[in-house]
Structure 1
């Protein structure tokens, strides 16, 4: 498993709100795209 750094997507707040996910930033950042995990079968 690898942890990989990434950039936030443009308009991420608006995209989540359109999906009904309105609590992405309550009391700090809930939704965080600054990294992701990559898995392998090895």
Structure 2
């Protein structure tokens, strides 16, 4: 039964690979966790 579970897990991973942000990074414009760039100007 372990081999069937492993096969099911591999099939699930293969089916959802396009939605995995670790495989295909999220574009910077859509990433809510991107670093914000703050500019500080001293005159």
- TM-score, with normalisation over the residues of structure 2? 0.22
Structure number having the greater helix percentage: 2
Larger Rg: 2
Structure number having the greater strand percentage: 1
Give the number of the structure with larger relative contact order, counting CA–CA contacts within 8 Å between residues 6 or more apart: 1
- TM-score, with normalisation over the residues of structure 1? 0.23
